[in-house]
Structure 1
């Protein structure tokens, strides 16, 4: 896909490098000549020096053929302008980094398809690390109505050696929780499990649950009986 990134700050450049490694074609737009030079010479992407909210610069950067525009400029007001212009040029996907929550509704009205609050993400990660240190990773969906947990199965936990169907039937297993991913060993691929999947010691699972069931799920995972 052709991805146009507005802003060559730390986030914009790291995104450019990551997306390039994934096989996408990347163009970066920024007023900083040194940042553009770095993007070209060190990362190997196209970089256009100029304002990301200037129509001439955007046309040069190929906004008409962009599959995705990522607005990661320094100010929400500038990002809002870029979202509006991207919508005008009929870009299918418009991703914006939001700094101030007051811009959430304006971004939606302007046509952003994905709004990422970097502040909220950072806060959530810190809170999760404090509140649930047992969790390898946690992601929130639908405004926090759904949680996806990445958990390592304790070595001595009683569920080791049992099949997923048995675990799901255990009355202590939180109702409404689903195990949607399984990785037997770190060097193996993540797989979609079924009822016959055998859980091994030290393996990793991905579980979908409700926020109010997270603690119950962790307690269940900690039931280490013979």
Structure 2
């Protein structure tokens, strides 16, 4: 897939690096020559210096051949213009980074296929970290009607050493919940467990449940905030 990204900031460059690892062909457009040079020399993607809302630059970057366009510019008005131009060139798969929610309806009117609010994502992640410190990560689906939780299985956890079938048959296990993923250690591949899968101490599980059952699930597992490791996050100097 050929992906064209507008904006060589931290998000644009980080996304380009990730897409490259996934095997996609990636090009970035940015007005900053140093950012374009970094993209070429350090990340290894094509970079075009100029405005991402210039038809000349977009054509030079091969927008007619693009399978997807990402608008990750520093200004919502510019992102909106890039999405509109991309649609005019027949690009149906468009992803936009939204900074100000007041642009939501405008992005929808421009037919952006995916609108990603970085502020909303950050706020939701921080709120989850405060409300549910026992959970390593948490994702919302279907407007928050379904939650997917990544949970540790420490040695003193109630489910450690038990099979998925035994856990599901326990009357205290929250109803309408499923264990859908199992990772025996941090470097192992994620597995889809079956009834005979035994959850070992030190492993990690993925659980699907409803929002109102998150706390009951944590209580059932016997988790405490002290079980979670300290996670250090480093950011490259982009």
TM-score, with length taken from structure 2: 0.90
RMSD, aligned CA:
1.5
Q: Distance in 2 between matches of 1:59 and 1:174?
A: 54
Which residue number in structure 2 is paired with residue 142 of structure 1? 142
Query: Does the 8 A contact of 1:98 with 1:118 survive in 2?
Result: yes
Q: Distance in 1 between matches of 2:34 and 2:162?
A: 57
Residues 191-219 of structure 1: CA deviation (Å, up to 9, x unaligned)? 11111211111111001111111111101
Q: Distance in 1 between matches of 2:147 and 2:77?
A: 31
Which residue number in structure 2 is paired with residue 164 of structure 1? 164
Q: Distance in 2 between matches of 1:158 and 1:48?
A: 55
Query: Does the 8 A contact of 1:154 with 1:221 survive in 2?
Result: no
Which residue number in structure 1 is paired with residue 181 of structure 2? 181
Partner of 1:138, secondary structure, is strand
Which residue number in structure 2 is paired with residue 60 of structure 1? 60
Query: Does the 8 A contact of 2:134 with 2:223 survive in 1?
Result: no
Note the C-alpha offset of 1:223. Answer: 7.3
Note the C-alpha offset of 1:154. Answer: 2.5
Which blocks of at least 5 consecutive residues in structure 2 are unaligned?
A: 225-238
Residues 46-80 of structure 1: CA deviation (Å, up to 9, x unaligned)? 11111111111111101111111110011111111
Residues 108-165 of structure 1: CA deviation (Å, up to 9, x unaligned)? 2211111111111111111111111110111112222211100011212232222111
**Mapping 1:108-147, distance limit 5 Å:** 108-147=108-147
Which residue number in structure 1 is paired with residue 38 of structure 2? 38
Which residue number in structure 2 is paired with residue 22 of structure 1? 22
Distance 1:6 1:198, change over 3 A: same
Query: Does the 8 A contact of 1:154 with 1:222 survive in 2?
Result: no
Which blocks of at least 5 consecutive residues in structure 1 are unaligned?
A: none
Q: Distance in 2 between matches of 1:106 and 1:168?
A: 46
Partner of 2:28, secondary structure, is strand
Could you list the runs of 4 or more consecutive aligned residues of structure 1 that deviate by over 4 angstroms after TM superposition?
none
Residues 3-54 of structure 1: CA deviation (Å, up to 9, x unaligned)? 1000111111111122112221110011112211221122221111111111
**Mapping 1:80-91, distance limit 5 Å:** 80-91=80-91
Which residue number in structure 1 is paired with residue 235 of structure 2? none
Note the C-alpha offset of 1:168. Answer: 1.1
Q: Distance in 1 between matches of 2:34 and 2:209?
A: 46
Partner of 2:123, secondary structure, is helix
**Mapping 1:1-12, distance limit 5 Å:** 1-12=1-12
TM-score, with length taken from structure 1: 0.94
